[in-house]
Amino acid sequence: METIEQERALSLGGLTEGERADFWRARSRGLGAGEGMECLAARFTTHRYVPHTHETYVIGTIVSGCETFVVRGARRFAGPGSFCVINPGEVHDGEPYGEGYAYRMTYPAVGMVRAVAEEVTGRKVTATPFFRAPDIYDPEMAALFVAAHTALAGEDMLAGDQRYVAMLGIALIRHADIGGPARLGREPGPVARAKAWLEAHMAEDVDLASVAAVAGLSRFHLIRAFRKETGLTPHAWLTDLRVRRARRLLGEGIAPADVAQACGFADQSHLTRAFKARVGTTPGRFRVEVRGEAAARAA
């Protein structure tokens, strides 16, 4: 059986009207070698995959409708709430059941999954981690995957990295044969180094692997330790830091678009979403109100 990349698997059969397939690769250097991990969001009503295999894992979830596929000699049916995993080399097909389905998928390399398994367990993992079932009804896991998949397509690399590594670590603990997670202790020194580095690189689009390297911890361990020390994940802490700086700059009268660039947001809309979620108003209105108050006090 020929192994195949998902992009090529899709090209083997044309899509009909109403179907779509959005394919991209995750940007982070920590989520796959070469061009990056493959990601897919698709909706199919008639498209059928022929039996094929992948060198990578296939990890994702159905967001609406139902997909049916044959794997390990049995026909499966997956709908919303199903967390789906095809191990490398497993022959599988796929087609709509009923009126069709929409799904989100990722295709992480074996080396990446093995690395996360090592980070989770704190032990060397030489075997290829094996997920026990190709589809598991686990709505919480499915929701974690959708959040990670959405972040991977977003403007903030650290957000995508963090959500995907955390999701994959939890999936390995729950549904793969890797053993239990390593015990989590206090890590004030490594977390302090990570915080200082994030503050120094606030205006940059940083990735989780770089922060973890500075801290001297694995990515999965850093996420857990950072939350234990600060109450926030690295990405949430960095976003708070950026918003606090944005408040100061807006108070000085700097335009929101320039503030966004100075604080490391992808664009003004990225700043607006983060700012409003924490301050309760938009950057533009905040700037006008603060400047107005300053002018009134000076009068």
* Residues in the chain, total: 299
Mean pLDDT value of segment 64-76: 97
Give me the residue spans of the domains in the chain: 6-175, 188-198+205-231, 237-298
Q: Answer whether residue 186 shows pLDDT above 90.
A: no
Give the model's pLDDT for residue 7: 53
| Confidence band for 12, pLDDT divided at 50, 70 and 90 | very low
How many CB atoms are located within 10 Å of the residue 268 CB? 19
Percent of the chain with pLDDT over 90: 82
| Helices within the chain (DSSP H only) | 6-11, 110-121, 139-152, 157-175, 188-200, 208-215, 219-230, 234-251, 256-263, 268-279, 283-298
Mean pLDDT value of segment 72-76: 96
pLDDT tens, residue by residue, 16-50: 878 999 999 988 767 865 668 999 999 999 999 99
Pick among 3.40.630.10, 3.40.50.10320, 3.90.76.10, 2.60.120.280: CATH of 6-175: 2.60.120.280
Percent of the chain with pLDDT over 70: 91
Give the model's pLDDT for residue 16: 81
Of 28, 47, 50, 48, the C-alpha closest to 39 is 28
Of 219, 226, 215, the C-alpha closest to 29 is 219
Give the model's pLDDT for residue 11: 52
Give the model's pLDDT for residue 184: 77
For residue 280 the two structure tokens come to 């309760």
| Confidence band for 197, pLDDT divided at 50, 70 and 90 | very high
Amino acid at 217: L
- Dist. CA 112–CA 119, nearest whole Å: 11
Give the model's pLDDT for residue 5: 56
Mean pLDDT value of segment 106-134: 95
Pick among 1.10.472.10, 3.90.550.10, 1.10.10.60, 1.10.1660.10: CATH of 237-298: 1.10.10.60
Give the model's pLDDT for residue 36: 82
Report in angstroms the alpha-carbon separations of 156 from 12, 123, 195, 198, 244: 33, 30, 17, 14, 18
Question: Is there a shared CATH topology between the 6-175 domain and the 237-298 domain?
Answer: no
